[in-house]
Amino acid sequence: MAANGNTNYYDLYRHGSLGSTLTDALDDLIGAERIDPQLAMKVLMQFDRVITEALSEKVKARLTFKGSLDTYRFCDEVWTFLIKNVTFKMDGGQSVVTADKVKIVSCSAKRSDEK
Amino acid sequence: MSNAAVGTVYEHIINEVINAVRVDFEENGVDDSVLEELKKGWQHKLSQLNIAQFPWDPKPEAPPPAQATQNTSSAVNAQAAATQQPTANYTQSTLSPQTAAQSPSHPGGQPNGNGVAIKSEPGMANEPTIKQEPGTMQPMMHPAYPGNNAARGGMAAQRAAQAIANRYGSQAQASINAIHQQTQQPQIPGQAPPPPPTPQQQQQQQQFSPQQQYQQTVAAQMQQRIPQQPGQPGQPQPLSQQNGLGGAQVDGSSDGFDGVLMRRDADGNPVEMGRVEIDNLLHAQLLERAKQREGGGLMLPLKEATKQRSNATKSRRAAAAGGPNQLDGNDEDDDEFDEDAINSDLDDPEDERDDDDEEDEASGWIMLCLYDKVQRVKNKWKCTLKDGVLTVNGKEYVFHKANGEYEW
């Protein structure tokens, strides 16, 4: 998951629900020829920046999780884990969420800090 | 880290992004409305995912009480006679049955409003009213008039009585008395409608004026029962007309008033549609839909169905005509073909693995984040993650920091 050319923000979050819905909405506008694709790319790059900043500044929540690691992969500075029977503990263990499996895609925090 | 935080954080992100790209939009000569459309579309798509409660979503709340009570009388009117109590109370509290019978210009003479109400009430509708404490009904019916004080209400009642006297002279004496009583005795309006008990009671109370004084304490409550009188003193008829009219219009299904909806026909002329026509139209559309689904979806050969999915509904409609004929032979073949493919050992593992990966992303059990540290000692892994978004079990969570421990 490479950082964008001009700005050093990952486009990782585009794969999340917020990013994918934005992409969908942009696609709709492009399909209707209301905007051109270059403008949509600019929107997405702004999104990369905003969500990265928002997650680091606005969010204070902590989380711990345990599970059994099914697959791991480290490629191009990106860790990908597939964890099975995973248990997430949030709010200091107050709420617990379990899932059969979860996929973690994680980029290096250092590189995004360098900017 | 809670699901509740997601809504506000996401809203913040959306607003930031929209504001950040506003300049770009302007530079590209794209109208601001398009940007707004993008925002709406984005929010709408997010809401559809149903991953969290978003601030822009309408919250599942009960409607504000004031509104609800204001609607009460009209809503009730639309229902069966049993629920017509409020209307009946209004009209008959201001005008006794006698007046209604005597004055042809009076709304009571309207067939749908008071006439129906009175007839249908004695058996079922009114019994509950008699038993019901006026005090309990008041807040429900007239919360909008809490400011009425005793003086105003009394004045209003007097003026109403005077107006009736002016108009109908001695004929209306009974109803004037009724008004006086009703101001002071809340039970009466409820009891008034049923023919046998009411007139007697009213006459009794006409004769016993001490009773009126004895019940003056109740008067304050009563003024709330006749709330519109203070506003339109001296006009009891229009007042009751309002009340009666609501009932007349809403439940008047048998009138000559047929049009419920206007629609434009092919030439653009407005056409009035009655209930039957609307029903027929809906029915026809439903049938059409059902046909479309039958021909254009499940019962088509697999190959054609997938082909058509990319096309617009136009082609789907076209297929609706020819679909049923084609479907016999091919469908089964396709199924068998699929089963054969699965049996192939060579295809199997790859296919499944691909499916798995896709499923992970498609079903959305995914965490996107940055890593600070990833450590491994033998088969034990520890990692420190930050600034992440986690989607799991259909809900979305955001976190600032996460620690994970897992064994391989």
Per-residue confidence in pLDDT tens, chain A, 115 aa: 444 445 578 989 999 889 999 999 999 999 998 899 999 999 999 999 999 999 989 888 889 999 999 999 999 999 999 999 999 998 777 788 888 889 999 999 886 554 4
Give the nearest chain A residue to B7 (CA atoms).
A18
The closest alpha carbon to B1, from B56, B52, B57, belongs to B52
d(CA A107, CA B297): 42
d(CA B312, CA B350): 33
Burial of A16 (0-12, 13-18, 19+ CB in 10 A): buried
Residues of chain A with CATH 2.30.18.10: 61-105
Q: Which run of H or of E encompasses B295?
A: none
* First-residue to last-residue Cα distance in chain A: 15
d(CA B107, CA B88): 12
Q: Which of A36-40, A55-59, B66-70, B179-183 has the lowest mean pLDDT?
A: B66-70
CB contact at 8 A, B292 and B323: no
CB contact at 8 A, B210 and B216: no
CB contact at 8 A, B175 and B95: yes
Whether chain A has a CB inside 8 Å of the CB on B402: the answer is yes
Measured in angstroms, the CA of A5 and the nearest CA of chain B are apart by 18
SS3 B166: helix
Helices (H), ranges, chain A:
17-31, 37-57, 109-114
> Which 323-362 residues of chain B touch chain A by CB within 8 A?
360-361
Report the 10 Å Cβ neighbour count for B184: 24
Query: With 90 as the cut, is the pLDDT of residue B364 above it?
Result: no
SS3 B196: coil
Query: With 50 as the cut, is the pLDDT of residue B101 above it?
Result: no
Q: For B301-309, what is the mean pLDDT? A: 53
- Taking the whole predicted model, whether its pTM rises above 0.80 is answered as no
* Mean pLDDT, rounded, of chain B: 61
pLDDT of residue B281: 85
Question: Which of A12, A14, A18, A36 best tests the B interface by mutation, with the highest count of B CBs <10 A?
Answer: A18
Beta strands per DSSP E along B177-292: 261-264, 270-273
Class level of CATH domain A61-105: mainly beta
Question: What is the rounded (10 degree) CA torsion for B59, B61, B66, B69?
Answer: 130
Query: With 80 as the cut, is the pLDDT of residue B270 above it?
Result: no
Per-residue pLDDT band for B53 (boundaries 50, 70, 90) equals confident
- ipTM for this prediction: 0.89
Q: Do B370 and A108 lie within an 8 Å CB cutoff?
A: yes
Amino acid found at B251? D
Question: Which of A7, A26, A42, A51 best tests the B interface by mutation, with the highest count of B CBs <10 A?
Answer: A51
- Which pair of structure tokens corresponds to residue B98? 């006698």
pLDDT of residue A47: 93
pLDDT of residue B338: 53
Query: With 90 as the cut, is the pLDDT of residue B380 above it?
Result: yes
Residue that wins the pLDDT comparison between B215 and B97: B215
Residues of chain A with CATH 1.10.287.190: 10-56
pLDDT of residue B341: 55
Whether chain A has a CB inside 8 Å of the CB on B10: the answer is yes
- Phi/psi for B137 (5° steps) reads -80, -30
d(CA B50, CA B203): 65
Q: Taking CB atoms and an 8 Å cutoff, what residues of chain A touch B360?
A: 82, 101, 103
> Which 123-162 residues of chain B touch chain A by CB within 8 A?
none
d(CA B75, CA B91): 17
Q: Do A62 and B395 lie within an 8 Å CB cutoff?
A: no
CB contact at 8 A, B148 and B224: yes
d(CA A37, CA A20): 16
The closest alpha carbon to B385, from A26, A115, A56, belongs to A56
> Which 39-78 residues of chain A touch chain B by CB within 8 A?
39, 42-43, 46-47, 49-52, 54-56, 58-69, 72, 74
A31 Cβ contact partners less than 8 Å away, ≥ 6 residues apart: none
The DSSP output letter for A3 is B
Q: Taking CB atoms and an 8 Å cutoff, what residues of chain A touch B23?
A: none
Query: With 70 as the cut, is the pLDDT of residue B286 above it?
Result: yes
Helices (H), ranges, A58-95:
none
Whether chain B has a CB inside 8 Å of the CB on A80: the answer is no
- Which pair of structure tokens corresponds to residue A26? 């942009």
Q: Taking CB atoms and an 8 Å cutoff, what residues of chain A touch B25?
A: 35, 39
A10-56 fold: Helix Hairpins (1.10.287)
The closest alpha carbon to B385, from A15, A68, A3, A78, belongs to A78
- Phi/psi for B271 (5° steps) reads -125, 135
CB contact at 8 A, A107 and B371: yes
